[in-house]
Amino acid sequence: MDRILRRNWSLGTGSYFSNEPKTKPRITRVKKPEALQFGFMKPHQVTTFVSGLVFVGLIAALGMRQRQIGALQIGATGQAPVQDVAPVTRPAPAEVPLTDSELRDLLSLRRDVARLRQDKSKLEALQAENTRLRTAITNAATSEAKRVAVPEGYLIANRAQFVGFATPQDALQSFLWSIRNRDTNALFQVLTPASATMLAEVIARQGPDDFFKGASKMPGFLIRSVQENGDGKAFAEIQIDPHNPSRVEKFRLEHDDKGMWRLEM
C-alpha cells in the first residue's frame, strides 16, 4: 500500500489515493497590460509612446513650477500675483463737423497766427541789426580810444551822455551828446531861448543833414576851466583838439530861473 501511494505521488497526481483520476495540471497564462507589452510593439510605436510620456511629464513640471512661483510671490508681498490683462481698446470719438461760423473763426485765427509769425521774424531781424550796430559802435569807440592818445579828462564824443543841465559841466556834456546823436530837441533844450531860436533858423537854411554833418566832426573836448560869476553867468574854456592844447574855445553859459545852465551861441 505504501508503495502504491508513493507511486501515485511520484506520478504527479498530487494525492496519495490511488483511485483519483490521473490528470495533468493546468497552467493559466496571465496576460500583461498592453502598455507594458513592449515586446509586442513595433519600434515606431514605442518611440511615440515614450515621447507622449515625456511631454506629459514636462507639462506637469511646468504646472508645479508656476504654483511654486505663485506661492513665493504671495509669501513676499502678501498678495496673489496679478495676471497681465490686455488693454481695452476704445473706439475714437466721432469727429463733429464745424459750423460755418466756427469755420470762419478758425480761418481768421490762422491768418492772425501767420501774420504774427511774420511780425516776429521782422522783429527778430531788427533786434539782430540793432545788436550788430551797438557792437560796431562800441568796438569803434574802443579802437578810436586806443588809436588816439587823449589827455586825461578828455571826453570822447561817442562816450558822452545826456546828463541834464544842473552844472556847467553837465550842460556841456549834454550839448556834445546832442550834436553826436543829431537830436535837435535835446540841442534846443541845452541852449538859451535866444540861442535856440537863432540856431533853428540856421538849421532851416542849411538843412539838418548839412548842419550835423559838420558839427558831428567834433571829436570831443577837455574842460580846462569853468569860472562862475555872481550874476548867473559862467565862462568855460574847453580844448577840442586832443593834440593841440594851445587851441582853446570859450563857451558862455547862463543860469536860468529854474536853476539850470544853458549855453549861449
In this predicted model, what pLDDT tens digit does every residue of 110-120 receive, in sequence order? 999 999 998 88
What pLDDT, on the 0 to 100 scale, is given for residue 14?
47
Are the C-beta atoms of 178 and 160 separated by less than 8 Å? no
Give the burial class of 48: count Cβ atoms within 10 A of its Cβ; 0-12 exposed, 13-18 middle, 19 or more buried.
exposed
Locate the DSSP E strands across 114-232: 155-156, 220-228
Output the CA–CA distances (angstroms, integers) from residue 23 to 1, 12, 19, 117, in the order listed: 21, 9, 12, 123
What pLDDT, on the 0 to 100 scale, is given for residue 17?
45
Give the sign of the dihedral formed by CA 216, CA 222, CA 224, CA 227: positive
Give the whole-angstrom CA distance, residue 88 versus residue 91: 10
Q: Counting every residue, how long is the chain?
A: 265
pTM of the shown model: 0.45
Residue 186: CB atoms within 10 Å: 15
Residues in the chain predicted with pLDDT less than 70, given as ranges, are 1-56, 70-89, 91-94, 141-148
Residue 169: CB atoms within 10 Å: 15
